[in-house]
């Protein structure tokens, strides 16, 4: 199968698999990952090597688009609207998963600190798509639903920041920087990664906003926006900055300095679906089946303690912010799915840590499939217990 034929095959069969799995009310991302595993090198070998070889290119482009979209949530108006409950809950549930998973991998599974830290950082991510799908399907309404939507919208932003800091620390440890100034260098690298990405994203946003007044058509707007996201992504790679953070800051600065910023974000939504499909299918195809046999305790610990951290952090955040009893008890159940950002972070870890990267990546893929299957059911249960949907609605 040649490259062009392979791409056509992936897109069409990806769409078909999503339609089929939608019949049993599971997210499309689950279908894409499972299809990728089946048609990838590990099973039926239907994807040409030429496409597998450009996985990193496609992943960087898609991660740039995902992070750019996440940045839209950082508008001043949005922060005023979502209130302190969402801020407290989103920060603490992300940090709760990060801390719990890191400690379990470090002290129970006896893994090196840098490996534990990467697993913990990735665990902080939540995929909003599956949760939003359930809310729309059952037409859920109420304070619990509004809070849940606010938390899942901003959660991945905290994950990107947590991952950038954790990655810088882990890279420093992995490089055996054991000089007396070790901690100072680690701290400096972390700060440089975050502020360097912020400066790059900010400058790109200002230039994009200034030049956008010369655009006249929707086609020009799409080409212009995509070009700037790719430019920002490429510069981040060249400067060894976080691709995720640079594009998140591009979106965050743009949404606060340009009154028509929603046009830029909306234009990319017209082309991102096939790119996301390719990204998830190739993520599944990159799974190394030989590593799965070693996942046992890793996968189980990650599955359980990520949920414990999410639920514990969400409950603590709700308690601190004075949220309702139902939010304290059940909101964490709506934060179980993980997908794009978690897989993107895992891909970065796979490339940066050759010795353990495959285990990290394989663990995240395997648990993502499970989370995406179980997550919608948990969200439905939480909405029922909170009273934002009724049994009559779920049976319609």
Q: Please tell me the distance from the alpha carbon of residue 211 to that of residue 200, in angstroms, as a whole number.
A: 17
User: What's the token pair of residue 83?
Assistant: 């209130």
Asked whether the predicted pLDDT for residue 396 surpasses 60, the reply is no
* Phi and psi at residue 374, to the nearest 5°: -85, -35
Q: Please tell me the distance from the alpha carbon of residue 250 to that of residue 233, in angstroms, as a whole number.
A: 10
Pick from 155, 168, 170: which is nearest to 117 by CA?
Answer: 170
Task: Name residue, tokens 């339609």.
Answer: 19
* Tens digit of each residue's pLDDT (9 = 90 or more) over 180-202: 566 666 667 777 878 899 999 99
Q: Which residues contact 326 (CB under 8 A, 6 or more apart)?
A: 144, 385, 386, 387
17-26, 186-195, 373-382 — most confident range: 373-382
Task: Name residue, tokens 């839209």.
Answer: 72
Question: Domains along the chain?
Answer: 58-394 (1.20.1530)
What is the pLDDT, as a whole number, of residue 140?
A: 87
Mean pLDDT of 362-372: 87
Asked whether the predicted pLDDT for residue 85 surpasses 60, the reply is yes
Cβ–Cβ < 8 Å for 51, 283: no
Please indicate, yes or no, whether the overall pTM of this predicted structure exceeds 0.95.
no
Burial (CB < 10 A; 0-12, 13-18, 19+), residue 269, is exposed
Asked whether the predicted pLDDT for residue 149 surpasses 60, the reply is yes
Pick from 341, 275, 273, 280: which is nearest to 39 by CA?
Answer: 280
What is the pLDDT, as a whole number, of residue 252?
A: 92
Q: Indicate the SS3 state at residue 396.
A: coil
User: What's the token pair of residue 30?
Assistant: 């689950």
Asked whether the predicted pLDDT for residue 76 surpasses 90, the reply is no
* Tens digit of each residue's pLDDT (9 = 90 or more) over 276-303: 889 889 888 887 776 666 678 889 999 9
């Amino acid at each position: 199968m040649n490259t062009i034929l392979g791409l056509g095959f992936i897109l069409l069969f990806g769409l078909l698999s999503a339609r089929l799995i939608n019949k049993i009310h599971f997210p499309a991302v689950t279908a894409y990952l499972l299809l990728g595993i089946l048609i990838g090198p590990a099973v039926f070998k239907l994807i040409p090597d030429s496409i597998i070889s450009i996985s990193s290119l496609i992943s960087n482009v898609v991660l740039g688009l995902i992070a750019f979209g996440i940045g839209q949530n950082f508008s001043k108006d949005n922060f005023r609207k979502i209130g302190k409950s969402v801020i407290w809950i989103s920060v603490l549930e992300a940090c709760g998963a990060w801390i719990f998973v890191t400690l379990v991998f470090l002290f129970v599974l006896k893994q090196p600190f840098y490996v534990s830290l990467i697993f913990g950082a990735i665990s902080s991510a939540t995929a909003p798509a599956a949760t939003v799908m359930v809310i729309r399907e059952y037409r859920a309404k109420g304070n619990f639903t509004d809070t849940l939507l606010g938390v899942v919208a901003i959660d991945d932003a905290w994950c990107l920041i947590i991952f950038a800091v954790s990655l810088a620390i882990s890279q420093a440890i992995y490089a055996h920087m054991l000089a007396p100034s070790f901690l100072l260098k680690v701290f400096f690298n972390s700060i440089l990664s975050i502020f360097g990405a912020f400066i790059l994203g900010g400058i790109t946003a200002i230039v994009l906003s200034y030049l956008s007044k010369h655009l006249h058509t929707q086609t020009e707007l799409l080409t212009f926006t995509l070009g700037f996201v790719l430019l920002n992504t490429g510069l981040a790679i060249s400067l060894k900055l976080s691709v995720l953070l640079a594009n998140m800051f591009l979106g965050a600065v743009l949404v606060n300095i340009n009154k028509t910023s929603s046009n830029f974000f909306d234009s990319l939504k017209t082309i991102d679906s096939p790119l996301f499909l390719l990204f998830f299918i190739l993520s599944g195809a990159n799974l190394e089946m030989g590593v799965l046999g070693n996942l046992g305790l890793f996968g189980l610990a990650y599955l359980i303690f990520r949920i414990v951290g999410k639920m514990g952090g969400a409950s603590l955040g709700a308690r601190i912010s004075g949220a309702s009893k139902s939010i304290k008890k059940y909101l964490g159940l709506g934060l179980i799915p993980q997908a794009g950002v978690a897989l993107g972070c895992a891909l970065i870890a796979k490339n940066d840590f050759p010795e353990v990267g495959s285990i990290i990546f394989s663990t995240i893929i395997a648990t993502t499939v499970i989370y995406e299957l179980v997550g919608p059911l948990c969200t439905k249960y939480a909405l029922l217990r909170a009273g934002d949907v009724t049994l009559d609605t779920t049976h319609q």
